[in-house]
Amino acid sequence: MIRAAALLAIAVVAAHPVEAQTRDAAAPATGTASIAGRVLSDTQPPRPLRRAVVTINAPDRTGSTAITDDAGRFAFANLPAGRYTLSASKRGWVAMSYGARASGRPGRSIPLADGQRATATLQLPRGAVITGVITDQNGSVPQGVSVRVMRYAYAFNSSEKRLLPANGSGVDERGVYRIHSLPPGEYYVAAFGPRDFFSQSRDLHLTSDVDVQEAQRAVQAGPTTPVTDVVQRGVGVTPVFYPGTPNMAQATAITVRAGEERAGVDFTIQYVAVSHVSGTVQGPDGQPPVNARVTLVTNTPSIPDTGIEGIRNAFLDNRGQFDFSAIAPGQYVLMARMAPPGPTGPNAPPPQVLSSIVDVDVQGDDVTGLTLVLQEGLTVTGTVRTDGTAPPPRLNALRVNLAAVQTGNAVNISTGGTTVRDDGSFTLTGVTPGRYRLTLFAPTPWLVRSATIGGQDSLDLPVEIRESIDDAVITLTDRKSELSGRIENGAGGADYSIVLFPENRAFWVGPARRILTARTAADGTYLFGNVPPGDYQLAAVDDVEPGEWYDPAFLQRLAPSAMKITIAEGEKKVQDIKIGGGG
């Protein structure tokens, strides 16, 4: 379903390498430019939208917010010169950026010179509505069911399209759900059963006629006669897609236009047999561990994940036993973790963390007798260094994280990160084997130049961690690189999406820091405000779906017509692009 991007032949016009500047001057707080405008409905005739929230943003500057008056008007005054993006939202309507081709697409920025007064009109489509009734197989309204609409989109950390939740609603006591404010588009509707974060939720049993008959027979027979044991199987609700299938591939898409109300999207949920997943956790000494937590994570490719609901926690009893109930058929990852008590404090040694992970396949029968033996996790030790002239950041306010890099549909589990010590050293404990990027949020004006493990920059190439590491190095720099330019197509008002991506194809692992996109501004210029130095390819396309740029197939198609460009640290490079003959 990857949308073919219109490729455009581009030719080098001129490259003016600019001498590396030391640092950005602090952006002035106020200026003399202004933008005023209106927010209107995207209807015929348009009407003003009152109480819409309009936000304005520019790189390296705090945004501002304005709310439209009764005539739909807004104004931002005292703006310093810069490149501004505008967007507007209002409940019941679909949020749009100024100049965007559709909701969720990037807008066009508005370059403002000192003293310039710009105007802008934003038009919002009315949100669409999908509504219907959910019942169970008996025609009765099920307890605790929720409904979500989903659409295919690129996930933030993946280079492929997935079914992602767009909006949701509860189901009221009449079975009615109503999901509104939807952008026009193609949606899938699914009902989810109640799933609890903690597994104290009890099994759900359907009462069978045999069950009732046996109970009544037992009463007549008196207390001394044995009771025929009627097996009561637990049931649960697995996700069901409109028009009533548990299989995502058989779901029917619903396409809604702006402002359309699609009623009658009714379907039935089914109770399915669910299982217990139970077992024992042992410490390294074979004894029941104290203070261990057990987590079960959904890992079923056919079921769209909905975040926190895919995760369940259980407690251990004093014999180290756990029991998850009401587990629907599917694949799961089961994990036990434990942090034995130890010294605490700002510079105390990091907690030692023991863990164990197993895959669990549930096919309707109970899964019992699982044994998880806790083992010491891996450790990643390293240092944070700074290379620059700005006042160094407070090291002990920085936090280092290991971000798991998704491979296929695997569940990735990473630790919660650690705080850097006063001397710049850090230790992450309890790391489970996997592919990771080492990340850190650097305070302005500092940037992370590299985060290496064994000399390999994990920010570009995720590092496979299979054993403990002691040579991680995170280097911060205060020298920011920039790429900007103008697109000329001979017709004026060039409107393209510019894609900057690394020459090294090994770095095409989404979400890569070296894959960047920008929409041309209203005057045909573009700007990448923070480009890690290196060798790149630059391409202009007519349109690109958000996230599509992480798709290697997409970049592959761009590569032949792209322009090669090298950016040095601290460089402010200007690269104009001429779109050639009829593209």
By CB under 8 A, tell whether 362 contacts another protein: no
Is the Cβ of residue 205 or residue 505 nearer to another protein in the bound state? 205
Q: Residues 404, 509, 521, 538: which binds another protein (CB under 8 A)?
A: 404
Angstrom distances, CA of residue 282 to CA of 286, 372, 450, 496: 5, 6, 39, 59
Q: Residues 46, 48, 351, 546: which binds another protein (CB under 8 A)?
A: 351
d(CA 467, CA 490): 57
User: Sign of the CA dihedral 39, 44, 47, 52?
Assistant: negative
Q: Which stretch binds another protein (CB under 8 A): 9-17, 33-41, 403-411, 491-499?
A: 403-411
Residues within window 184-203 making contact with another protein, judged by CB under 8 A: 202-203
Q: Residues 13, 27, 36, 53: which binds another protein (CB under 8 A)?
A: 53
By CB under 8 A, tell whether 105 contacts another protein: no
Q: How far is the CB of 8 from another protein (least distance, A)?
A: 30
Contact 355, 337 (CB under 8 A): yes
| Residue where the block lists tokens 């045999």 | 210
- Name residues whose C-beta falls within 8 Å of residue 345's C-beta, 6 or more positions apart in sequence: none
The site that binds another protein (CB under 8 A) totals a number of residues, namely 116
Q: How far is the CB of 352 from another protein (least distance, A)?
A: 8
By CB under 8 A, tell whether 321 contacts another protein: no
By CB under 8 A, tell whether 164 contacts another protein: yes
Q: Which stretch binds another protein (CB under 8 A): 223-231, 239-247, 486-494, 556-564?
A: 223-231
**Angle ∠(518,543,63) on CA atoms, nearest 5:** 35
Q: Residues 211, 488, 495, 523: which binds another protein (CB under 8 A)?
A: 211
By CB under 8 A, tell whether 582 contacts another protein: no
Q: Residues 101, 399, 513, 572: which binds another protein (CB under 8 A)?
A: 399
By CB under 8 A, tell whether 424 contacts another protein: no
By CB under 8 A, tell whether 23 contacts another protein: no
**What secondary structure letter does DSSP report for 125?**
P
Nearest to 102 by CA among 190, 189, 186, 8: 186
Q: How far is the CB of 180 from another protein (least distance, A)?
A: 4
C-alpha torsion 547→549→553→557, nearest 10: 150
Burial class (CB in 10 A: 0-12, 13-18, 19+), 182: buried
Residues within window 32-51 making contact with another protein, judged by CB under 8 A: 50-51
By CB under 8 A, tell whether 156 contacts another protein: yes
Nearest to 96 by CA among 128, 62, 125, 61: 125
Q: Residue 439 carries which side chain, given as an amino acid letter? A: T
Q: How far is the CB of 264 from another protein (least distance, A)?
A: 17
By CB under 8 A, tell whether 25 contacts another protein: no
Is the Cβ of residue 56 or residue 544 nearer to another protein in the bound state? 56
Residues within window 114-153 making contact with another protein, judged by CB under 8 A: 127, 129, 136, 138, 140-143
Q: How far is the CB of 79 from another protein (least distance, A)?
A: 12
Is the Cβ of residue 346 or residue 581 nearer to another protein in the bound state? 346
By CB under 8 A, tell whether 103 contacts another protein: no
- Name residues whose C-beta falls within 8 Å of residue 450's C-beta, 6 or more positions apart in sequence: 457, 459, 473, 474, 475
- Name residues whose C-beta falls within 8 Å of residue 139's C-beta, 6 or more positions apart in sequence: none
Is the Cβ of residue 96 or residue 500 nearer to another protein in the bound state? 96
By CB under 8 A, tell whether 467 contacts another protein: no
- Strand 234-237 to 176-182 pairing: unpaired
By CB under 8 A, tell whether 248 contacts another protein: no
Residues within window 168-187 making contact with another protein, judged by CB under 8 A: 172-175, 178, 180-181
Contact 564, 575 (CB under 8 A): no
Q: Which stretch binds another protein (CB under 8 A): 230-238, 246-254, 366-374, 554-562?
A: 230-238
By CB under 8 A, tell whether 429 contacts another protein: yes
Q: Residue 344 carries which side chain, given as an amino acid letter? A: T
Q: Which stretch binds another protein (CB under 8 A): 102-110, 308-316, 508-516, 553-561?
A: 308-316
Contact 275, 233 (CB under 8 A): no
Q: How far is the CB of 136 from another protein (least distance, A)?
A: 7
Residues within window 62-91 making contact with another protein, judged by CB under 8 A: 62-70, 87, 89-91
Is the Cβ of residue 458 or residue 525 nearer to another protein in the bound state? 458
Tokens of 123: 């038009």
Is the Cβ of residue 430 or residue 485 nearer to another protein in the bound state? 430
* Count of beta carbons in the 10 Å neighbourhood of residue 297: 18
Q: How far is the CB of 166 from another protein (least distance, A)?
A: 13
Q: Give the x-and-dash track for 267-306 against another protein (CB under 8 A).
A: ------------------------xxxxx-xxx----xxx
By CB under 8 A, tell whether 313 contacts another protein: yes
**What secondary structure letter does DSSP report for 149?**
E
C-alpha torsion 544→546→552→558, nearest 10: 20
Q: What would the DSSP string read from start to end of 5-67?
A: PPB--EEEEEEEPPPPPS-PPPPPS--SEEEEEEEEESSSS--B-TT-EEEEEETTEEEEEEE
Contact 235, 274 (CB under 8 A): yes
